[in-house]
Amino acid sequence: MIEALKEKILKAQEAGSIAGLFVLEQEANELFDEETLLQYYANILELALERLTDALESARRLDMEDVEDFATIRALYEYAIEHYSAGKPIDAAALFEIIGGLTEDETLTAAMRIHMEAAKAGMSLDDFINTVADIEATQNAGSFYVCAFKEAARELLANGEKGVS
């Protein structure tokens, strides 16, 4: 069973398909040990960073309707959240800013701006989730990123516009 999964993963990697790797995520989580799972996610991130580089070099916006572009944004968002969770808010803020500029999707762009301002202000991820993010509305929206916010987000944005951190 593990060998069959590894074969599927190899085919997705060879095709450069982040979406294909995400399709196999649940199975990977169930079957792989921690070390193998970390490598699996590292492969997803590597492909996402390659696609990011390609998009930046060609000044191309990613299309949230395209399955590979969508998967790329998801992988980059998870990478930014990982930095935020690890207590690296400046790195996370930079990543949120990049993600927000990668697409024409206004909802994503607006959400990444709120993420960025929270991280720049030094707000912990836990505080962001508890005081700024509306997790229930985000879950109801079925989004992979926090896309709904409480009233505190307005103040955060206002302070960001004033240059207050």
The conformation of residue 163, written as its DSSP 8-state character, comes to T
Q: What is the DSSP letter of 133?
A: B
Q: Is residue 151 part of a domain?
A: yes
Q: How far apart (Å, rounded) are the C-alpha atoms in residues 42 and 30?
A: 17
pTM of the model: 0.91
Q: How many CB atoms lie within 10 A of CB 157?
A: 17
For residue 158, the enclosing domain spans 90-165
Does residue 26 form part of some domain? Answer: no
Q: Do the domain assignments include residue 23?
A: no
pLDDT digits (tens, 9 = 90+) for 50-87: 999 999 999 999 999 999 999 999 999 999 999 999 99
